[in-house]
Amino acid sequence: MASKDAYYFRHDANASSDLKLKALRKKYKWKGQGWYWFIVEKLRSEANYKLSYSDLTFDGLSEDLGVGAEKVKQYIDDCIEKFKDENSSLFTKNGNYFYSDRLNRDMERLEILRQQNVKAGKASAAKRFGAKEDIVDERLAKLVDIYEKEIGMPTPAQFEELKDILDEYPEGWFEDAAKEASLQNKRNLKYILGILKRWKTEGKGSGKAPKNELTKKKSSGIRMDG
């Protein structure tokens, strides 16, 4: 999931009227506001939405922003201590880390929305071909679970294809093929089926790309002999 919203961050249309940002601009001009959004997006890329309050961070941001590390530290300190109201500051320091309360609130809202979408998707799928929990065959339920994790919610047609795969290929093959497809960044059922068909013909673990990929590479002029 993280890869799908890696670049998500909501820049409010009225952010420039925020009193904390106005105070920031008074000292650092509009360039300082640009620095703020850059650092917020850096925070967004971190697993826990926080950065270490350390020389390592200041040095890294110094290179990104084109100013000295001491200037970066002073800027972050000001965002923590000076640019604040009765509710929060632009950045909050907790121990050896600092973060943005605003970013954390936005990400909480995003997670709630994501969960609502997942719930709605599962409800829709249940109406079309039965909820995963209602599938009697445990092996089929496992395939559906793998499909959801690696690709997404299957359509009714894809659900039927999963049943065919269960009948045609040995247990465990689909999971291994799905992992291989994921490593190749080819997260779709067509590519997984290509892997399964190749394994059935040439033996599992042959290490070659599915035939449709080989054909595609040959037609594009890419040599396959290394």
pLDDT digits (tens, 9 = 90+) for 156-178: 778 788 888 888 898 889 989 98
Q: Which residue has the higher pLDDT, 117 or 13?
A: 117
> What average pLDDT does the structure give for the chain?
79
Q: Is the confidence at residue 3, as pLDDT, over 90?
A: no
Question: Over the range 58-86, which residues count as b (16 or more CB within 10 Å of their CB) and which as e?
Answer: bebbbeebeeebebbbebbebbbeebbee
- Cα-flanking dihedrals φ and ψ of residue 53, to 5°? -85, 85
With contact defined as beta carbons under 8 Å apart, do 143 and 162 qualify? yes
pLDDT mean over 111-136: 59
Q: Which residue has the higher pLDDT, 213 or 125?
A: 125
With a pLDDT cut of 90, the percent of the chain lying above it is: 36
Residues 196 and 162 in one domain: yes
- Directed axis angle between helix 138-150 and helix 173-183, to 10°? 0
Whole-number pLDDT of residue 116: 66
Q: Which are the contacts of 92, defined by CB distance < 8 A and separation ≥ 6?
A: 80, 98, 99, 100, 101
Q: In the structure, what pLDDT confidence band is assigned to residue 106 with cuts at 50, 70 and 90? A: confident
Residues 72 and 139 in one domain: no
Whole-number pLDDT of residue 29: 93
Residues 27 and 101 in one domain: yes
Residue 63 lies in a domain: yes
Which run of H or of E encompasses 10?
none
pLDDT tens-digit series, residues 25-83: 999 999 999 999 999 999 998 888 999 999 999 999 999 999 999 999 999 999 999 99
Residues 47 and 94 in one domain: yes
What is the total count of domains within the chain?
2
* Beta pairing partners, 76: none
DSSP at 209? P
Q: Is the confidence at residue 131, as pLDDT, over 60?
A: no
Residues 42 and 102 in one domain: yes
pLDDT mean over 126-139: 57
Residues 180 and 138 in one domain: yes
Q: Hey, CA dihedral for 133, 137, 141, 144, is it positive or negative?
A: negative
What beta strand segments (E) does the chain contain?
50-52, 92-94, 97-99
Domain carrying residue 150? 130-219
DSSP at 187? -
Which H, E and C letters describe 30-62, residue by residue? HHHHHHHHHHHHHHHHCCCCEEECCHHHHHHHH
Residue 145 lies in a domain: yes
